[in-house]
Amino acid sequence: MSAHRWDPDQYLGYADERGRPFVELLARVDADGPADVVDLGCGPGNLTALLAQRWPGAAVTGVDSSPEMVEAARGLGLDGVRFEVADLRDWLAGPTGRVDVLVSNATLQWVPGHLDLLPALVDAVRPGGRLAFQVPGNFDEPSHTIRTELAARAPYAEHTAGVAVPSSHDPVVYLDALSALGCEVDAWETTYLHVLRGDDPVFTWVTGTGARPTLQALPDDVRPAFEEELRGRLAEAYPVRGDGTVVLPFRRVFAVARTAA
């Protein structure tokens, strides 16, 4: 999760679109007066701020494996919110006590085999608390398949083998897994139609998230050719509409679990 570097400014280029699933996830977390709230994979902290607004009496902690993201989050100067650099797997394995609300937004997809982490995530929540997460579910869309196809070709494949690639499961998989752990589960999916503007907006979107590890794995003398072909193929897959916009369909998968009391 930390082998590549994130750019908070580039990530925030579509802050409203990226933040909407978090807001809708948070709306389904029916926790009253939690004392401890943790955001695993907090990114640049702009969404962690919403947790502090929702529960002003709680001690809120944001955790992210990217030093760049945590530096940006700390720069927000949020009262009552603490940020720390840690891989979520290390955080779960550490001496941290249980919390009332544990949130993870668009992070678990980067953890290989993250279904195996669900017992530890549930165990990190106090009885009757809430575990809430959201992951992308659009990995069969051109925004991902084009990158995968290109990365498997010469001369790129020798550099991209083993690079971090996100993945997730259907809502029913999370529902079944969390229910088996004794949780009361609300799981669902939503496909957003993001209306984007600007030059090559889908290219800009993916290079800030899913394609970023692949691009960073390529040497400087190889990367430009990859970027040029990726940009061109994405432009074909997501054509500009008559009003100058581009529509990016984006499926998201959500789960909110209430742990056994």
Tally of structural domains, the chain: 1
Domain extent at residue 168? 8-258
Alpha helices in 60-102 (DSSP H): 67-74, 88-93
Q: Average pLDDT, stretch 248-258? A: 97
Q: Which residue from 20, 4, 6, 35 is spatially nearest to 248, judged by alpha carbons?
A: 20
In the structure, what pLDDT confidence band is assigned to residue 14 with cuts at 50, 70 and 90? low
Tens-digit pLDDT profile for residues 68-103: 999 999 999 999 899 999 999 999 988 778 999 999
Domain membership flag for residue 2: no
Q: Is 90 exceeded by the pLDDT of residue 18? A: no
Question: What pLDDT score does 5 carry?
Answer: 54
Q: Are 257 and 184 in contact (CB under 8 A)?
A: yes
Tens-digit pLDDT profile for residues 119-164: 999 999 999 999 999 999 999 999 999 999 999 999 999 999 989 8
Indicate which CATH number applies to the domain containing 33.
Answer: 3.40.50.150
Residue 36, strand partner residues: 59
Q: What is the pTM of this model?
A: 0.91
Domain membership flag for residue 1: no
Domain membership flag for residue 50: yes
